[in-house]
Amino acid sequence: MDDVKTYYNPLNGEYTKILRSSADTLGEYSLLEVNLMPGGGNPPHYHTRFTEEFIAVKGKLGLLYNKDIVYLDPGESRLVPIGVEHRFFNDSDEPIVFKIILRSGQPGFENFIKGLFGLVNDGKTTKKMIPKNPLYGAILLYWGDTHLKNLYFYLFSPLAALAYRIAKISGAERKLLDKYCLGEIVRDSQIK
C-alpha cells in the first residue's frame, strides 16, 4: 500500500487515501483512510446509495450522527445507515486518523474525493468547497451521492440532476475525469 496516493484538501485539513477501491474489492466495498487536522471536518449530509462505517484509528473522532454528537476512541466504530445525516470532525488539538468503509463499493465517491480535492487545490472552489463551475458541482454531488438537509439544497436538487445530464452531454464530466481522476469513468451501472 506504499504506492497509494494521498489526496489533500487544504480547506478542511483532510488527507485521504483510497486504500481499497471498489475495483479492488469487486464492488463489495471501498476503504478510505483519513488524516484530519485540528478544526477539520465536513458539513452535515447523508447518502442514499451506500452505508458508511467510521473506524477511529488515532485520536478522538467526532461524529454528528443524526442530531447527536458521538466521539469514537481508537478501535471503536459507528455504522451510518443510508439516509442518516452525519458529519465527521476533529475538535481536538492533535491530528486524528480514521478509516471509512463504504458499502457497497463506490467508484463514484472515490472520484468525488479526487475531483473535489483537485478543484480545491487548483483554486476552482469557494472557501466552502463549492465548485465555481456549477456543472462541476452537479457532477460531484452525483458522484458522491451527497445530499444536504437544507432548503437551498432541496430547491436546487432538481436543477442539479438536469445540470448533471448537461455536464455529461457537454463533456464537462469527461474533462473532470481526465483532469483529476486519471480518466476513470463512473458508469451509471456502477453507482447503486
Q: What is the pLDDT of residues 71-98, one digit of tens each?
A: 999 999 999 999 999 999 999 999 999 9
pTM: 0.90
Whether omega before 170 lies within 30 degrees of 0, making that bond cis, reads no
Q: pLDDT at residue 3 above 80?
A: no
pLDDT at 187: 45
Q: What's the mean pLDDT in 102-119?
A: 96
Q: What's the mean pLDDT in 147-169?
A: 81
For 56, 111, 123, the CA distances from 37, given in Å and listed in that order, are 14, 22, 20
* Residue from 24, 12, 13 nearest 4 by CA: 24
Share of the chain above pLDDT 70, in %: 90
